[in-house]
Amino acid sequence: MAKRIWLRRGVLALAALLLTGAAHAEALVDEAARAALLKRPDGRIVHVESEYNDIYVTKRRSELTMSFQLKGWDYTESVSNLSDPDDLPLRYTQVMTVAAIYPEAPKRILMLGLGAGTLSTYLGRFMPGANIDVVEIDRRVIDTAKTYFGLRETERVHYLDSDGRVFLNRRKELYDLILLDAYRGGFVPFHLLTREFYELVKQHLAPGGAVASNVHDGTKLYHSTVKTLADVFPSVELYPSGQGEVIAIGTTWRPDQDMLASRAAALQQAHNFRFPLPQLFERRKTNAQSEAEGGELITDDFAPVNLYDTLGNDLPRRK
């Protein structure tokens, strides 16, 4: 009975927060800019060179893609549907939204890695009561997302240029949800993969908070990443996208199946997410321990850069 009452209180608190925030929704995309891009012919829109990346923006019908070129390989970083700002064309971004059910009341969200801002825009539009900080190391990526993808900064959604680890070291704020999606080409920068980094992330989680990380499946690096997350977080749950990525969600507490299902239903009922949270929750797997088998603990002192070579063999090379 006590468990049932606790679950009900948590769901009611979450619903109240979201309904209150609905009145404060802001325009997070420039519809005119997106409409203008939609009228342009297909093909490359722009090539932007920065200190960190070769950034390409390419249009194909209604989809606008941001990709990085690294050592001759093309890596898709983000895809946006110009005719529908609530769409998430990349499957892993859809799955990553399930992380919103883990905090009791997701008031503050931090994202490391921007891309074209499709995920931050989606969460901002469907969770108008949440404040979102997005940290991106490459200022030109932020500028490109604003110029070509119509990204807009508001009083509650901020785009900050900084290295993610430096940002966390310099700030003291706590977040209910931290999303890790920082990639350079096809790989997560090494200093954002280590035990020391995950310990830093944990220090910035509010009580009951959660961290979600986008991890490529099928390599030793994947097993090592899961092993390292499980070394820091008492609970790690996995959500496969079915397309080569896994969303790993770490918490300092042990999630309860019924509680998470109730939160997923409450969030869905409150805001009618395009990609229903209860259905995404069905992908939940709690076998992180078995997925960590064969992996190595990644620390600041242990840099197995050879693991990166296991990815990229089948990716299209730019002609």
What's the pLDDT at 307?
Answer: 53
Instruction: Give pLDDT, residue 23.
Output: 36
Average pLDDT over all residues of the chain: 88
CB 239 within 8 A of CB 247: yes
Order of strands across the sheet with 73-81? Answer: 43-49, 54-60, 63-70, 73-81
Confidence of residue 111 (pLDDT cuts 50, 70, 90): very high
pLDDT at 182: 93
pLDDT of residue 20: 40
- Ordered domains of the chain (ranges, CATH): 2-30+90-310 (3.40.50.150)
Task: Pick the more confident residue, 302 or 157.
Answer: 157
> Which burial class, exposed, middle or buried, applies to 202 when counting CB atoms under 10 A from its CB (0-12, 13-18, 19+)?
middle
With a pLDDT cut of 90, the percent of the chain lying above it is 78
Q: Can you tell me the mean pLDDT for 178-192?
A: 89
Predicted confidence at residue 303, as pLDDT, reads 63
What are the backbone angles phi and psi of residue 276, rounded to the nearest 5°?
Answer: -55, 130
Using the predicted structure, report yes or no on whether residue 29 has a pLDDT greater than 50.
yes
CA distance 263 to 105: 10
CA 67 to chain centre: 17
216: its two tokens = 């490529």
pTM for the whole structure? 0.88
Residue 195 pLDDT > 60: yes
Q: Which helix (H) or strand (E) holds 50?
A: none
| Model pLDDT for residues 154-172, shown as the tens digit of each residue | 999 999 999 999 999 999 9
Beta bridge partners of 299: 302
Per-residue pLDDT tens over the stretch 50-100:
999 999 999 999 999 999 998 778 899 999 999 999 999 999 999 999 999
Q: Which range (24-28, 33-37, 234-238, 241-245) has the least confidence?
A: 24-28
Q: What's the order of all strands across the beta sheet hosting 108-112?
A: 157-161, 131-136, 108-112, 175-180, 205-216, 245-251, 235-240
Q: What is the pLDDT of residues 229-281, one digit of tens each?
A: 999 999 999 999 999 999 999 999 999 999 999 999 999 999 899 999 999 99
User: CB within 8 A of 84, min separation 6: which ones?
Assistant: 62
Average pLDDT over residues 179-199: 91
Minimal CA–CA distance to 102: which of 283, 213, 261? 261
CB 192 within 8 A of CB 182: yes
Q: Tokens 């971004």 — which residue?
A: 93
Burial class (CB in 10 A: 0-12, 13-18, 19+), 43: exposed
Q: What is the mean pLDDT of the segment spanning 295-301? A: 93
